[in-house]
Amino acid sequence: MTPDEIENAVNAGMPRAVDDLKRLVAIPSVAFPGHPEEPVLAAAAMTEELLRSAGLPHVRRIPVDGSFPAVYAEAPAPPGAPTVLLYAHYDVQPAGDPALWRTPAFEPTEIDGAVYGRGAADDKSGVISHVAALRAFQGRFPVGVKVIIEGQEEYAGERLEAFVERNPELLRADAIVVADTGNPKVGDPSVTTSLRGMGAFTVEVRTLKESLHSGSFGGAAPDALAALIRMLAALHDDHGDIRVPGLPRGTFLGSGPSEEEFRATAGVLDGVSLVGSGSLADRLWASYAITVTGLDVPTVSGAINAVQSVARARVTVRVPPAGDPKTTVEAVVDFLRQVAPWGVQVDVGDYTVGSGYLADSGGAARTALNRAMEHAFGRPPRDVGAGGSIPLVSTFARQFPAATILLFGAEDDDASIHAPNERVDLGELHRTVLAEALFLQEYASATS
């Protein structure tokens, strides 16, 4: 097919694609413990239906140990053509507080050219991008196609990692498209070439056999909460740079957002400074970051006049692509033990680690994607990083070192993924679908 024929086919198919997106978003496929399983399985069934509608001859659900089923599909490669693996996930984050949503989280609502709803961007837009791009070919694909759509990425994505490691031949491909990312802003074509890894742990501080009356014992009895606060505050200096030895600031070679763009996207309040030093690209994509993501302490509403005997915190560390998450977490834990005051007892557990990823920006697949995105967006893409982690990408890289991994999609930075009022811009979705369809044709032509 010519680029014009592909574009016409994509344009004609977008109304159907938007309707399919709304149907999929309406399913509350939250694969977290405590949420009903039936909607997650319903989303798997609909994903299977959608892939069949895309002309793929072999579609099936496959079990994943300890997880919801993945949906797998494939079409054989024409003689001499490469094979492309397409990845996305059909599960979503919990909706959170309904009062914070302007429209109901699982009642997809179209407003001003965008569809609002939980999962509209992350990552049901990825599922629809693959389906709509494949439909353009009406079953006559220029490359071999494999599709894997998982069902528990948001809560337990490492389970699909284990599946990939046990079934490499099922998923082996020459290029892998991961549709679980996006552009910094709508209409700004970008390919994510850098992902930070991550580590997390829970630290617990104990000082007393039990909490004590602050009037009778305060001033002499060691407060576990005060000790934990001192330890956590010691992780950063006054500028917000990390004080843990061995975790230097990195350098990102591409361009990042301006301070004005970042402040607007992040919603930084007037008069509040950004933290850290170096360029924003360095801080966000190539350097370590430590965040306290949770505290187990008395709430303000439930506070009593007591010196606390125990306090806990959940700490997350983002790790540059070249860094090692395990040794990074060990360095942070060692530092916390060193700065712990008053001889308090420190216990650390519940570790989680995931590797980062740094892509090669060359090769036939990337060149084909550059051409496809330039056609779809009107200008060639630039390289960007992502501060978040997609551990499955590093698994793909280990299992298929010869494959080119391409990360792009419709999740722009204003999409509010994981937050209230998540949305996907339909123009961005359209351009992403067109770019993916053109890529499949360009890649076939480049390797013929």
Instruction: Provide DSSP, 98-167.
Output: GGG-SS-TTS-EEETTEEESTTTTTTHHHHHHHHHHHHTTTT--SSEEEEEEES-HHHHTHHHHHHHHH-
CA 288 to chain centre: 17
pTM (predicted TM-score): 0.84
Q: Which residue has the tokens 């305060």?
A: 218
Which domain range does residue 386 map to?
A: 3-195+356-447
Structure tokens at 71: 């949906």
Q: Which of 153, 180, 413, 436 is catalytic?
A: 153
pLDDT interval class at 353 (50, 70, 90) = confident
> Interhelix angle for 325-339 vs 224-233, to 10°?
130
> How many structural domains is the chain composed of?
2
The string of pLDDT tens digits covering residues 22-67 is 999 999 999 999 999 999 999 999 999 999 999 999 999 999 999 9
Structure tokens at 310: 């125990």
Q: Do 186 and 69 sit in the same domain of this protein?
A: yes
Is 411 among the residues known to form the active site? no
Closest CA to 179 of 89, 247, 249, 244: 89
Q: Do 180 and 220 sit in the same domain of this protein?
A: no
Residue 288 and residue 247: Cα distance in Å, rounded?
A: 7
Cβ neighbours of residue 5 closer than 8 Å, sequence gap 6 or more: none
CA distances from 400 to 192, 390, 424 (A): 18, 16, 31
Structure tokens at 439: 């890529």
Is 49 among the residues known to form the active site? no
Higher-pLDDT residue of 160, 87? 87
Check which CATH number belongs to the domain holding 210 and give it: 3.30.70.360
- Bond preceding residue 123 cis, omega within 30 of 0: yes
Residue 410: phi, psi to the nearest 5? -100, 10
Residue 107 lies in a domain: yes
Cβ proximity of 426 and 114 under 8 Å: yes
Which of 296, 321, 352 is the last residue in one of the domains? 352
Closest CA to 89 of 372, 440, 417: 417
The helix/strand/coil state of 262 is: helix
Residue 60 lies in a domain: yes
> Interhelix angle for 3-25 vs 124-135, to 10°?
140
Cβ proximity of 59 and 52 under 8 Å: yes
Residue 419 lies in a domain: yes
Q: Which residues of 143-180 are buried (b: 16+ CB within 10 A; e: fewer)?
A: bbbbbbbbbbbbbbbbbbbebbeeeeeebebbbbbbbb
Residue 256 lies in a domain: no
Q: Do 342 and 391 sit in the same domain of this protein?
A: no
Cβ neighbours of residue 220 closer than 8 Å, sequence gap 6 or more: none
Q: Do 437 and 338 sit in the same domain of this protein?
A: no
Q: Do 339 and 363 sit in the same domain of this protein?
A: no
Q: Which of 91, 123, 158, 411 is catalytic?
A: 91
Check which CATH number belongs to the domain holding 404 and give it: 3.40.630.10
The string of pLDDT tens digits covering residues 60-110 is 999 999 999 999 999 999 999 999 999 999 999 999 999 999 999 999 999
Closest CA to 92 of 105, 104, 82, 102: 105
Instruction: Say whether pLDDT at 361 is over 80.
Output: no
The string of pLDDT tens digits covering residues 191-236 is 999 888 889 999 999 999 999 999 999 999 999 999 999 999 999 9
Q: Do 23 and 66 sit in the same domain of this protein?
A: yes
